[in-house]
Structure 1
Amino acid sequence: MNSSSMPTDRKQMYRKRRQLSTDNGENWEGRGLNINTTSYVLLNQVGDALVNNGESLSKQKLSNKSNEQLQGDKNLYSLQEKITSRFPRTLVTIVCNTDQKPDPHLRNIFQRQLNQTKTMLKSLVYFSSSSFRVIVVTESQKTYDQVLSQLEDWPERYRSRLHFERGEIWIPKQENILMEVWRPCSWPKLFLHEALPSLDAAIYADTDILFLGPAEGLWDALEGLQEPQAFAIGQDPLYDRHKHRRYAGTVGLSAGLFGANFTRLRSFKSEHGGYSDTIMHYKKNNKNSHDQDTLNVLLADYPEMFHELSPQWMFCPSHCLQGVLPCCLDTGVNVIHGFDATFVRGVEMVFQVIYEALLDFDLGSQASLLRERLDKEFFRVDRLALSSACRRVMGIQAILTKHIRDLADLEGKGSTEWYNEKKTKTKNEPLTKE
């Protein structure tokens, strides 16, 4: 990016970051406004040491630091505050490259995770007008760099609204087996309060999440949690269809996307210990359960801990199994979840064609092109009777593409100002009661 084209405030922030990187001996790579920061763990440690939040550094460690080192810590903490004020909405996702062998259904292929992450972030900035702080939790720096390298050709007006940081995966000691259970790195999402110890609250999203409308309403729901609620979390109706599994909420809860107040999770206490100890207690007492199953059983015993979101904010293929949708006819759907490799396996083609269209879509192109492609793809799915429970649901195309059509219509009228204003003021559809 040509520095002469930068606004003054951006130039100052960029210079400040470069200066701090020099002062602290770190290699900060500039990507527009997307500074590839030093390990997020470093910033967490600084924040912990200064504000005593979470598992802070001991006073002994602090006393051993020189004044020069402490000043560097304060500079980094000051920088973290500036980042938070400029990017107040924090999104966390986990991308993991493991040694697991690919299975026949493409579940463990690393390239699929990379493609899904790129598409998820693309849909986030395309349908929303806010700026976002994105913490990518990975098992290595190499994986983090691979994620960011996919976004380098994005137009600056989209890319500059994402500030990236890296977080380290955290799991309980002597529980390394969790890294191999179910999906690669599926369990670390339940321990983000440990992995990011100075983060107060955030929205977590699996890589197989797609935003089909403004995402800001999720942060509204997170901010609206009433103590002791720590989760704003959506539904997974599969639990309601398989009664042999215990679940929380009206039909079961999804761990694919949730808002979490990590501060409240850190202060959680039960007869089994803190939140992490309690999670492991439920895991060991439900040996065949996966991460989402374990979270459901825990929240079934502690229903005061969560607020259940409507399907507008977590729409799964299993919602279509009911035949008639209980929501979203007027509001449309803002989030879909392609769990279990739904976007690539050919088992729910309505979801897959949406994912493929957004994967191929060039940011900066007109929404009318996206609408036209999806019209053709929905017609093909219906005409050829391709595998899909959702294609049998009346009005499903209008529900899933409402925001795309709204945007395309506004582009046709030569203005998107109304839509951009609407995006910043999006209200939640009434949230489902627990």
Structure 2
Amino acid sequence: RCKNLSVSFWNSYWMLPSDVCGMNCFWEAAFRYDYMKTHPSEKMHLAVVACGERLEETVTMLRSAIIFSIKPLHFHIFAEDQLHESFKDILDEFPYEGKVNYTLYPITFPSESAAEWKKLFKPCASQRLFLPLILKNVDSLLYVDTDILFLRPVDDIWSFLGKFNSTQIAAMAPEHEEPRIGWYNRFARHPYYGVTGINSGVMLMNMTRIRRKYFKNDMTPVRLQWGEILMPLLKKYKLNITWGDQDLLNIMFFHNPESLYVFPCQWNYRPDHCIYGSNCRTAEEEGIFILHGNRGVYHDDKQPTFRAVYEAIKNYSFGDDLVHSLLQPLERELQKTTHTYCGRVYKVFIKQLTKSIRDLYARRSKG
């Protein structure tokens, strides 16, 4: 398991796996490179939680992150035990070229409340809430859902960390741009951030600040830290929330709005941005930066525009020409979707992708 130094492992029971070598691996709460300790600022950290039938979708997301990113990436993959071997088999075949490594983690919740958290929304969904507590040595992290596709370098969303003011600890996009079709402002039975709430499918975190912050809340006049506030929030609102951990984050940032940086919808572009007509203006102007195929749209025929992008990235072979093997076949497929509302604006799906490919080849030509 240590034949590839890009691989590291974490064990929730603080035991060294018997087949992990002692020469190149070491352990604290996680096994990682010495390089990670001596050059922490040179890596971008990306986390994902995968359960059930999400293996292929997660791998496709990771592929999209690798294709365009510039700085080295470290993937933190939280997955059910039965998925670990499959992840290792697939990821070990990726041509990392020295810029990617990963850590596999089991799905774990606080033992005294594990059953409660597992029942929240989906079996593994609330795992993300505990990332600041599990990844104690990671300063900043980009969490994404499995159904995310990067159409430009991860470096670009990572750069938002440098735009945080002194009070901001995390960044997310609004749940809706158009209040008339918003979910939170029409149906929520709990507090939520802003006018239409926030979507947590793409969440950039300064986890050092998260761990240090004391949060205002509506349960006690005393401010609570991240690890103290999660269970009381769940107990108070569990009968009033629909979208699980996302709802809890909305409640938290409703009471602490100064702590959130809001980025535009093109960084978390979902079917709601086009199925009733285009309503993400920044995507119309500059293209989609991060595609979020929620509602399972990558795997059915309801939104063929989203599915076409997913299939194109899934089927792309590393090293092939991106124009001929990815962009041109994708554009041909997108042109077949103009009978749908999203298909009518299909050019926003390739506008940034085209630029990302051009920029990548320009960087390569400069050596």
TM range (shorter): 0.7 to 0.9
1:200 to partner: Cα distance: 1.7
Partner of 1:379: 335
The alignment status of 1:361 with 2:332, answered yes or no, reads no
* Aligned positions, number: 337
Partner of 2:10: 39
Partner of 1:254: 199
Q: Compare CA radii of gyration and give the structure with the larger one.
A: 1
Q: 1:344 to 1:73 in 2, by over 3 A?
A: closer
Q: Deviations over 1:339-396 (max 9, x none)?
A: 23221133322111111111111111112221222222112222xx3xx44224xxx3
Partner of 2:103: 165
CA contact under 8 A between 2:297 and 2:307: conserved in structure 1? yes
CA contact under 8 A between 1:170 and 1:195: conserved in structure 2? no
Partner of 1:306: 260
Cα distance in 1 between the residues matched to 2:112 and 2:365 = 48
Residue type at the aligned position of 2:93: D
Q: 1:269 to 1:261 in 2, by over 3 A?
A: same
Q: With the length of structure 1 as denominator, give the TM-score of the two structures.
A: 0.70
Question: What pairs up with 1:21-420 in 2 under 5 angstroms?
Answer: 28-31=1-4, 33-34=5-6, 36-39=7-10, 78-82=34-38, 84=40, 87-96=42-51, 110-111=52-53, 113-140=54-81, 142-157=82-97, 160-176=98-114, 177-237=116-176, 240=179, 241-242=182-183, 243-245=186-188, 246-270=191-215, 271=222, 273-286=224-237, 287-289=239-241, 290-320=244-274, 321=276, 323-368=278-323, 369-382=325-338, 385=339, 388-392=340-344, 396-406=345-355, 410=358, 416-418=361-363
Cα distance in 2 between the residues matched to 1:407 and 1:76 = 31
CA contact under 8 A between 1:232 and 1:308: conserved in structure 2? yes
1:154 to partner: Cα distance: 3.0
Cα distance in 2 between the residues matched to 1:201 and 1:29 = 26
CA contact under 8 A between 2:177 and 2:280: conserved in structure 1? no
1:332 to partner: Cα distance: 1.8
CA contact under 8 A between 1:95 and 1:136: conserved in structure 2? yes
Residue type at the aligned position of 1:319: H
Residue type at the aligned position of 1:37: S
Q: Deviations over 1:298-340 (max 9, x none)?
A: 2111101110011121111112235343213343221011123
1:272 to partner: Cα distance: 6.2
Partner of 1:17: none
Cα distance in 1 between the residues matched to 2:365 and 2:118 = 41
Q: With the length of structure 2 as denominator, give the TM-score of the two structures.
A: 0.81
Cα distance in 1 between the residues matched to 2:336 and 2:66 = 28
Structure 1: 5+ residue stretches without partners: 1-27, 46-71, 97-109, 422-434
Q: Deviations over 1:221-256 (max 9, x none)?
A: 123322321111122218942322242134321111
Cα distance in 2 between the residues matched to 1:334 and 1:346 = 23
Cα distance in 1 between the residues matched to 2:57 and 2:39 = 26
Q: CA RMSD in A?
A: 3.0
CA contact under 8 A between 1:41 and 1:196: conserved in structure 2? no
Cα distance in 1 between the residues matched to 2:155 and 2:117 = 32
Cα distance in 2 between the residues matched to 1:419 and 1:315 = 29
Cα distance in 2 between the residues matched to 1:301 and 1:127 = 37
1:121 to partner: Cα distance: 0.9
Give identity over the alignment, percent: 22
1:187 to partner: Cα distance: 0.4
Cα distance in 2 between the residues matched to 1:391 and 1:399 = 10
Cα distance in 2 between the residues matched to 1:133 and 1:179 = 26
SS at match of 2:299: coil
SS at match of 1:136: strand
1:170 to partner: Cα distance: 3.8
